[in-house]
Amino acid sequence: MMNKHILLLLFACGFVISQARSQSIVRLYAVRSADGAGQLTDSLHYTYSGNRGGDETSQNSPQFDEYLRYKFIQGSWNPYQRKTNTYSAVSKPLVMLTESPFNSSWRNLERTVYHYDASDFLLGYNQQSWDTINNSWKDFYTDSVVYDSQHNTVLHILINTNGGNGFDFFSKDSMVYDAGNRMTEKYYITWNGSGWDNVFFISYTYDVNNDQVLAFWQSWSGSVWETYSVDSNSYDAQHNLLSGSSYSYNGTGWETSNRYTYTYDAANNMLTELSEVADATLTSWENYNRSTMTYDNNHHVLTRMMELWSGGSWQNSSKQDRVYHSSGKEILVTNFYWSNSQWTPSVKFETVLDINNLGQYQNSYAYQSGNWQLTQASENWFQIVAGIHENNFNGGSIAFPNPAQNQFQIRLNSPVPGPASCSLYDEAGRLAARQNIILTACDQVISWSRAALLNGVYFYTIQWQGGKAEGKVLLH
């Protein structure tokens, strides 16, 4: 049994925290300096519903329902930003709203409003900012799309609203397609303040396997289209790019520019990438650099080595080694450079996963004086809380760090103030520790000292009048 427990308040109680609808992911984030003196800096909360799902990297994606962010400033947590998304019946984003804190509440900051046709194809969106003087939304950017009968994009227009003082066209792309819905022409046009100006035009050619083999570029001189450059590609039967060459037009003829050549193994993994540049006469190719890759059985890149062409032969230049977790996630990247006839470490990036295979620790190192020196460390704690509904709140919680060594904390979204108990059980269901706490009306942290607990998985239960929260933590 533990005899010392610390109860810490986490967030400002004056703020209303939205409750999760169906599934929430809570993320706590910290950046620590090389001496380890850095402190917890950010707390991120994601809420999802339905089958849209989500993961720890979804804050910039219109797939979450709500995203709350807090910053740790001068010893306390302070609300920083809230994003709220609404969706159509088929999970198309309708409005993405961003708010900032103001007088213990949230104030509109900006939003994106999406528009669709009857077939749920995106017609465009408006980005708007909140006018605090007139308490109204103002457009500052508009994106619109026009489709043909096959739903190919034939017109794409970007509009700058000149700070809400009237529409000011910015640019538009116009596309043409063949009977096979392959883009054959693309025009890029910009607005000069009173009319449209041509900029460039591209025509595309395809082979019998529908791979693009030619891209012919022309620029607008002010009165006529002038040849600019051409890109030429070739492919194998599996649609792997075998070579890509670029040529520039000098007014009378074609000059070589650059060329890439690729090779693949039987599983279509790229093995080599050869880069060539134009020689002094601009009529033929000469080697520039070459990359060689190796893979594991899951087609993950293990090693990428680059060589430079010098003195008529290939010379080692740099190398990158990668290590993966059994879940397939990348956990270690190490960069080397070639010096004194050997590979010398340069920098490395390490990710330590928690028991849910989410990135808990992300560390950066530099190789100095024969040793790895920590340059930056970030700490992330995630917890997926399922089965929480607006009208039946059971209390979301997160244990961090997880796995833990000497101590850990449980962050709790407490629904009502009052007494509660927090219990730990081992894998056999035996009570290992318990403490009595007082819940407040805001989020808080319950800190545990490991004391005499053995290594293993522990299940915690926090119970209060009318509800409870559950989870697990790994001690090692």
Q: What is the CATH number of the domain that holds 432?
A: 2.60.40.3080
Task: Look at the alpha carbons of 247, 249, 250, 253 in this order and tell me if their dihedral is positive or negative.
Answer: positive
CA-derived radius of gyration, the chain:
29
- Residue 322 is encoded by which pair of tokens? 């990668």
pTM: 0.69
User: Do the domain assignments include residue 472?
Assistant: yes
In a domain, 466, yes or no: yes
What secondary structure letter does DSSP report for 166? S
Residue 146 domain flag:
no
Token pair belonging to 9: 């308040």
* Dist CA 56 CA 351 (whole Å): 14
Residue 451 lies in a domain: yes
Give bridge partners of residue 382 from the DSSP assignment. Answer: 27
Let me know if residue 175 belongs to a domain. no
Q: Provide φ and ψ at 452, rounded to 5°.
A: -95, 15
pLDDT by residue for the chain (476 residues), tens only, comes to 333 222 222 333 333 333 333 455 555 555 555 555 555 566 667 776 655 544 444 444 447 788 888 777 776 667 889 999 999 988 889 999 999 998 888 999 999 999 999 999 999 999 999 999 999 999 888 999 999 999 999 999 988 876 556 556 689 999 999 999 999 999 999 988 788 999 999 999 999 999 999 999 999 999 999 999 999 999 999 999 999 999 999 888 899 899 999 999 999 999 999 999 998 888 889 999 999 999 999 999 999 999 999 989 999 999 999 999 998 999 999 999 999 999 999 999 999 887 667 666 788 899 999 999 888 777 665 555 433 322 222 345 677 676 777 777 777 765 567 788 888 888 777 888 888 888 775 556 777 877 778 888 888 888 877 777 777 787 87
Give one word for 109, left, alpha or beta, with left for phi > 0 and alpha for psi -120 to 50. Answer: alpha
Q: Could you tell me the residue range of the domain that residue 428 belongs to?
A: 1-19+409-476
- Sheet containing 456-464: order of strands: 431-439, 418-425, 456-464, 467-475
Residue 453 covered by a domain: yes
Q: How far apart are CA 172 and CA 83, in angstroms?
A: 30
> Which H or E run contains 433?
strand 431-439
Number of domains in the chain: 1
Contacts of 422 (CB under 8 A, 6+ apart): 410, 434, 435, 436, 437, 446, 460, 461, 462
The verdict on residue 171 lying in a domain is: no
Residue 433 domain-assigned?
yes
Q: What are phi and psi of 288, to 5 degrees?
A: -125, -65
Q: Are 186 and 202 in contact (CB under 8 A)?
A: yes
Query: What's the rounded Cα separation, in Å, for the pair 359 and 26?
Result: 13
Asked if 418 contacts 404 with a C-beta cutoff of 8 angstroms, the reply is no
Question: What sign has the CA pseudo-torsion 204, 207, 208, 209?
Answer: negative
